[in-house]
Structure 1
Amino acid sequence: MRCAAANIVQKVGFLSAIILLLLSCFDEGISAMLDDHEISLEAANVQLTIHIPDNEIANSASYILIRLDRGTGHDQIEVIFLMKDGPSVTDLFKDRLTVTLTNRRRVDMLLRNVSALDAGMFRCFSSSSKTIIPNCGQLLIVIRKPDPPTVKVLPSSTAVVGSSLHLVCQTHTRSLPSGHGLTSQLYWYDESGTYLDPYLTDNQRIHINEDNQLVIEQLRRADSSLKVYCTSADNTGDVTTRIVSEPSTIFQVMPEYGPTVQDIQSTPEFEIDHVVHKSIGQSISYRCQAQCVPSCQIMWMYRPYGGAAGFGEVMNLVKKNVLVLDVSRTNEGSYRCYAENNHATVYKGFYLEALYINNPFVEINGLVRSNARFVEGDTSVNLSCDFDSNPGPLVVWSSPLKTILSSSQRAVGPQEKLTSNGIHLRSYSSHYSLTSVQCEDSGVYRCVGSNNISIGEGRIHIIIMCSPSSADIPGLKLLSDYVWDIPHALSIDFIIRALPEPDIARIMSGVKGQSRKEEIPKDFVISKIQNYDGKSYLTKFTLTSRRNLDMTDADRMFIMTIESSEFTKDFSFRIRPRGAPREIFNLTATDINHDSLSLSWMPGFNGGETQTFAVEFRIQNQPGHQDEPHQLTEEQAWILVANNLTDFPIGQLIKVQIVSLRSNTEYVVRITASNKLGTSVREITITTTDPPEETLGVGAIIGIIVCVLVILAVVAVVIYFFVYKKGRGKHEDEDDDDSDEVGTQEVMAPKQQQTVSLLDQGDIQHLKETIDEEIQTIT
């Protein structure tokens, strides 16, 4: 194999020679025929000549086949059959190819309208075999416009300021076949399009060397404005067949250099070691940039005030070159902007001094801690907050309910302290004390300190442990009695006041001497809500039975054991079925005399509904039983003396006074308790006392008694007609708005009560005048 390496090196230089050498030597046949080739443009006509060698292979062939090898690796194309009787062109070429055979050794081919598909090696083969006849063929190179070349930095060169930069124009030929072996001609231009003639730039700082490389000696920063490009053409040796490529992309020279301190720029600008004063909570933002090529890596470094360690990288920045800080006590110190590339490292810095107030350190009874437990009672708790502040703060204390406990007070201090990490603290102290703590004192206490810069807040969580008890919250208080509709499942809500958080450990129940253990959750389901209404000492429970209550559960007593980690306590409640009110109890008659008495009683269970009381009395039934009212005389009928007495407040003693009774007479008093579901009755028998002794004579007394009897008879007749004939219906139509007030109530005697209640003022006046006349006559 023969490669024209020496000629290539002389023409295009070492690097180009290597590239062309690899291309030219890829195919032995092409390389062998490099000097025997024809060059044509597309759409032109070309004359090709092939000499048949005088050798054994050619001479022994029955015919010679000329094939086109395009160098693509695919099957070769049959072009001409050289038969003994003459040449024969294949159908693919017969319209464009004319063949002339001279002395059977020379084949002249005129190929018209050449295309890129015609490029390649026309080879001779013995008959139809694949045996190549040596030294028989010709290369056809079809010239096409090259793709734009690429300007690159020579790998062995560097673009560092002060060094020499070598630029190479890398070509991209499109002529065929691909291994045609033609060299490239290169042309350099500046940005304005001025051709850089190699002869005119010789011995200048910027010149083109013998290898067609653009060389910039002693590279400067200012050379960054230099822009160049190149074009290329396949060297055909004939200007008529030379086609120049489009220009390469413009290459801008980028000199590399390391940064200096003067190259570092910040926005906003700060002087070296400048002191920046900022209040805590304010923000600072510094953008750091540096003039350097390649681009510098920008990094902010930090060393805290008083810190013994060196500088460390500022973390959590969105962009490493932008320092954004919310100023706090912990980020006071020195900051440096470092600019670094592979040529140099420099920095520029400032000092940040913070005006601040931090959240305090908290203490409980002299110990540094933020929470503690105490038992309810006479315990005293001393709270303290130590603020790291500059300047010192005014402090306000508030309770768990956010109630202000004290007016603002100036904290005591400062005391200088040095922490383990070297940060200096300016400590100011404030105190608050609690005495005789209760469960309700539990919660988070706050100390808020403020200065003219900002505020700081400390929180101290105090838990005052207390034994479980029922919280006095309307609708959620654990009651001693629960009225329930039977049959329905029991479900009650109640709140327990306790800390720590309580639980229902067990439930026992009993009725009529029989007790049982209620299994959880088999018999009862328990749910609870902690921190009810935001108060840690309140826990809401919901207790639900899985079965429906029945009448066997009437008056059943439940005992719950409620436990916390510190306390255990039993609570009880009773189930009352909803219905008619129970009988009153402790019915007592007091202050009994000849014409009046006082009654008192305790209300029975109201059956779950509002109950009222009615008071009636009558003279004891001598002839018959009280259940046989038809045997009662008119005097022995029940007389209503009080109605709609209310049971309010519920469960308190009720008193009623009855007046104008007969002396030395046995009465039955009946108390009826009523609600919308029914009634209950309780009776008591009472005998009035004898009348007091009179000072009148016997005759006068007898006369008065006779007169009184006559008057009473007249009054009885009048009452009979007015009351039982007319007034009775009117009285029964009155509604129940006549209820007497709770407490001691005075009730008129029966006859007088009926007169006042049922006669109009004219009747009353007429009776009075009649009685006065009778008495006057007797006298």
Structure 2
Amino acid sequence: MNTTLSVTCPYTPGNPAETRFTWFYANTSAIGSNQNLSLSNVQLTGEGYYKCRVNNTMDPTGCTAEEGYDETTFFVDVQYPAKIRRFSADGSVFASSVTINESQTVTLLCEADSDPLATLEIVNFTKSDERLLGEAHNNTISARVVNARCEFDMGVYQCKGKNIHNAVQQVREIEIKIACSPRPSPFTTPIVTAYRRRNSSAILSFTIVAYPPPNDASAYVWRKQVDGKWVTLLNNNRFQIRLSNDSLQTNLSISQLQIDDFTNYSVRVNNQVGSTEQTFVIRATEQPSVPQQLLVVDAMVTESSVTVKWTPGFNGGEDQWFVIGYKKAADEFWTYINVSSTVTQLSIGDLVAGTKYEVKMYAENIIGKSDETTALSVTTQSVISDNGSSPSVGAAVGGAVGGILAVVIFVVLWKYRNAFKRKPGEGAQYDDLFNRQADVLAANTSSEYEAYRVESQQTNQYETLAETSFHEYSVLSPGGKQDYSVTNRVTQGTENDCASLNQQNAYVNV
């Protein structure tokens, strides 16, 4: 097509040699009378059969003149580059895009105009990665998208075609839109864990697949976890929320990361069909901070141990542990103890009494260790008491005093026993309760109690006598520092009790 065709009609001269030429196109009128035929700027309308006729006039002497002729034909095939005439989805001939539901099946049809026949392809060009759906050496091709998926089947489809005359491949496109709720894009996987250092910046990005796209920025909600609760984030001087032009990607930018920024984040996005949510976490990548407020618990300092406590600092984003170091103030080398991150108080034992020690500590994680705290000085208690007596002397004094006190109590009890002992023939105040009388009126007793009924078959019943008041006694010790509360004990009487068998019903509570 659009070229010039020159054809020469071959012939063998007759007798006479004078020859005439006539050209015909498709049995129409003559289109030429020379041996050569020239067809310039050939178009598709010029395709068809052409005929060349040659003739001469034979006029022998004494005979009638006669025309002699011969002819031949040929076919002109006008070829042209392939051109795609139509590319449609489910019969939508003039639509540049169609919308279907998720899991629906759609048929694509591509038709080309080409001579010779074109080589046609239908490809899924949704994510700049061609996926061939069909190929044919023909001017017509079709393909089906079965059980359409929003993530992989929504986007641009192309029909490509060419033949030997095409300098550039011909392409027609149609967009297939699939109604679906938001979901993470499989082609841009979110980085859900970000490792940063304090005072640096972090960007959390989330790309989705959804149709229709979220309406605006309000369809995206970013939140931050603070003390176990989710707090909605808004734009400010450190937090910036941005949205892409196609509304399918959102970014959360955080500048000057602080300790409380190393936590969990989430973003929730919705459209007319549904919603989805993605979580992130920012973790620190640095050594822990120095433990705070290291101090000695004075009340827990003993002759052989000291107790220290502290407040953990920032762990650097990794699990940390603590290292406690101690030594005698006069020594050069330290002894170190590793402590779990859950411990904030430690008792250091096996120390020497009356000796000055130094204590320090630092925190450590897999990244590194913190600086050390300032060393504390502490002196264990001395074995010498406040009054200057040695433990053996104090014990001896305490034992002597205790022995004297025991003798005094014994003498007092003996005197009280004789004072309360009943003389022969003398009745006790509550004898009627123990003389096995079946029924005694209150008027016959010298007490203020009602009659007490004693069953005849029951013997040796005793009433437990208990003092209702309690006394506190001080433990005698050289220092006189410790007081103990001692309560009276009540003992249940038995048949073998000497006082009961002798009817000496007076008791002294010791």
Q: TM-score, normalised by structure 1?
A: 0.26
By percentage of residues, which structure has more strand? 1
**Larger RCO, structure (CA 8 Å, separation 6 or more):** 2
